[in-house]
Amino acid sequence: MSDNSMPPHNDLIGDMLKKRDDDGGMKNLKGFGKPLPKEYFSGDTFQHFQRIAKDAGYKPHWLRLQHEISSMIHEIVNFTATGKQEDLQKHVDEVNVKIAEHNRHCPPPMLKGRISLDTLEKAKEIWG
Protein backbone atom coordinates (compact mmCIF):
# COMPACT_ATOMS: atom_id res chain seq x y z
CA MET A 1 0.00 0.00 0.00
CA SER A 2 1.49 3.34 -1.01
CA ASP A 3 0.98 6.60 0.79
CA ASN A 4 -0.40 9.04 -1.80
CA SER A 5 -0.60 11.84 0.76
CA MET A 6 3.17 12.42 0.59
CA PRO A 7 4.16 14.91 -2.10
CA PRO A 8 6.94 13.77 -4.45
CA HIS A 9 10.36 15.08 -3.43
CA ASN A 10 12.73 16.92 -5.71
CA ASP A 11 16.35 15.87 -5.89
CA LEU A 12 17.72 19.08 -7.36
CA ILE A 13 21.40 18.19 -7.05
CA GLY A 14 20.77 14.70 -8.38
CA ASP A 15 18.83 16.16 -11.33
CA MET A 16 21.67 18.59 -12.11
CA LEU A 17 24.25 15.81 -11.98
CA LYS A 18 22.12 13.53 -14.17
CA LYS A 19 21.63 16.28 -16.76
CA ARG A 20 25.37 17.01 -16.77
CA ASP A 21 26.10 13.30 -17.18
CA ASP A 22 23.53 12.94 -19.98
CA ASP A 23 25.25 15.83 -21.80
CA GLY A 24 28.59 13.99 -21.53
CA GLY A 25 30.02 16.63 -19.21
CA MET A 26 30.98 14.35 -16.34
CA LYS A 27 33.80 12.63 -18.24
CA ASN A 28 35.38 16.00 -19.09
CA LEU A 29 35.78 17.07 -15.45
CA LYS A 30 39.25 17.69 -14.04
CA GLY A 31 40.29 14.64 -12.05
CA PHE A 32 37.70 12.29 -13.60
CA GLY A 33 38.39 8.69 -12.55
CA LYS A 34 40.74 9.70 -9.73
CA PRO A 35 39.92 9.46 -6.02
CA LEU A 36 38.56 12.60 -4.38
CA PRO A 37 40.94 14.54 -2.12
CA LYS A 38 40.50 13.83 1.61
CA GLU A 39 39.43 17.45 2.33
CA TYR A 40 36.23 16.81 0.33
CA PHE A 41 35.10 14.43 3.08
CA SER A 42 35.70 16.80 5.99
CA GLY A 43 33.62 19.81 6.98
CA ASP A 44 30.47 21.09 5.30
CA THR A 45 29.29 18.94 2.40
CA PHE A 46 27.32 21.77 0.78
CA GLN A 47 30.39 24.05 0.73
CA HIS A 48 32.39 21.26 -0.89
CA PHE A 49 29.67 20.78 -3.49
CA GLN A 50 29.69 24.52 -4.24
CA ARG A 51 33.47 24.51 -4.68
CA ILE A 52 33.38 21.43 -6.94
CA ALA A 53 30.50 22.88 -8.99
CA LYS A 54 32.32 26.22 -9.34
CA ASP A 55 35.52 24.45 -10.42
CA ALA A 56 33.49 22.58 -13.04
CA GLY A 57 32.07 25.86 -14.42
CA TYR A 58 28.53 25.41 -13.12
CA LYS A 59 26.56 28.63 -12.72
CA PRO A 60 23.17 28.53 -10.94
CA HIS A 61 20.08 29.49 -12.95
CA TRP A 62 19.40 32.52 -10.74
CA LEU A 63 22.92 33.84 -11.31
CA ARG A 64 22.56 33.50 -15.09
CA LEU A 65 19.25 35.38 -14.78
CA GLN A 66 20.96 38.09 -12.73
CA HIS A 67 23.43 38.76 -15.56
CA GLU A 68 20.65 38.70 -18.14
CA ILE A 69 18.54 41.16 -16.13
CA SER A 70 21.50 43.50 -15.72
CA SER A 71 22.07 43.50 -19.50
CA MET A 72 18.38 44.13 -20.17
CA ILE A 73 18.32 47.10 -17.76
CA HIS A 74 21.42 48.62 -19.35
CA GLU A 75 19.80 48.21 -22.76
CA ILE A 76 16.65 50.04 -21.60
CA VAL A 77 18.75 52.85 -20.10
CA ASN A 78 20.59 53.15 -23.43
CA PHE A 79 17.24 53.31 -25.26
CA THR A 80 16.16 56.23 -23.08
CA ALA A 81 19.52 57.98 -23.53
CA THR A 82 19.32 57.75 -27.32
CA GLY A 83 15.70 58.85 -27.44
CA LYS A 84 14.21 55.49 -28.44
CA GLN A 85 10.99 55.77 -26.44
CA GLU A 86 8.84 53.17 -28.22
CA ASP A 87 7.98 50.01 -26.29
CA LEU A 88 9.92 51.05 -23.18
CA GLN A 89 7.16 49.84 -20.86
CA LYS A 90 7.07 46.52 -22.72
CA HIS A 91 10.82 46.10 -22.09
CA VAL A 92 10.39 47.01 -18.41
CA ASP A 93 7.59 44.44 -18.12
CA GLU A 94 9.86 41.78 -19.66
CA VAL A 95 12.56 42.61 -17.11
CA ASN A 96 10.03 42.33 -14.28
CA VAL A 97 9.06 38.84 -15.47
CA LYS A 98 12.76 37.87 -15.33
CA ILE A 99 13.08 39.46 -11.87
CA ALA A 100 10.12 37.40 -10.62
CA GLU A 101 11.78 34.23 -11.93
CA HIS A 102 15.11 35.28 -10.38
CA ASN A 103 13.42 35.79 -7.01
CA ARG A 104 11.84 32.33 -7.16
CA HIS A 105 15.25 30.67 -7.55
CA CYS A 106 17.78 32.83 -5.70
CA PRO A 107 18.81 32.67 -2.03
CA PRO A 108 16.63 34.95 0.16
CA PRO A 109 19.34 37.60 0.73
CA MET A 110 19.58 38.06 -3.05
CA LEU A 111 15.89 38.94 -3.59
CA LYS A 112 15.38 42.15 -5.55
CA GLY A 113 12.34 44.32 -6.30
CA ARG A 114 10.59 45.14 -9.54
CA ILE A 115 11.67 48.08 -11.67
CA SER A 116 9.74 50.87 -13.38
CA LEU A 117 10.52 53.58 -15.90
CA ASP A 118 10.96 55.98 -12.98
CA THR A 119 13.50 53.76 -11.20
CA LEU A 120 15.76 52.76 -14.12
CA GLU A 121 18.87 54.57 -12.87
CA LYS A 122 18.48 53.08 -9.38
CA ALA A 123 17.86 49.64 -10.93
CA LYS A 124 21.04 50.02 -12.97
CA GLU A 125 22.99 50.57 -9.74
CA ILE A 126 21.27 47.67 -7.93
CA TRP A 127 21.66 45.13 -10.72
CA GLY A 128 25.21 46.24 -11.66
> What predicted TM-score, i.e. pTM, was given to this entire model?
0.61
Enclosing domain of residue 70? 61-127
| pLDDT tens digits, 10-29 | 777 888 878 877 877 767 77
Which DSSP symbol is given to 120?
A: H
Q: Please indicate, yes or no, if residue 70 is contained in any of the structural domains.
A: yes
Band (pLDDT 50/70/90 cuts) for residue 80 is confident
Q: Please indicate, yes or no, if residue 16 is contained in any of the structural domains.
A: no
Q: Please indicate, yes or no, if residue 39 is contained in any of the structural domains.
A: no
Q: Please indicate, yes or no, if residue 122 is contained in any of the structural domains.
A: yes
- Average pLDDT score over the chain: 84
| pLDDT tens digits, 47-71 | 777 777 888 888 889 999 999 999 9
Contact 115, 99 (CB under 8 A): yes
In sequence order, which residues have a C-beta less than 8 Å from that of residue 121 and are 6 or more positions away?
Answer: 77
Question: Greater confidence, 57 or 44?
Answer: 57
Q: Please indicate, yes or no, if residue 87 is contained in any of the structural domains.
A: yes
Q: Please indicate, yes or no, if residue 53 is contained in any of the structural domains.
A: no
Q: Please indicate, yes or no, if residue 110 is contained in any of the structural domains.
A: yes
Give how many domains the chain has, as a whole number. 1
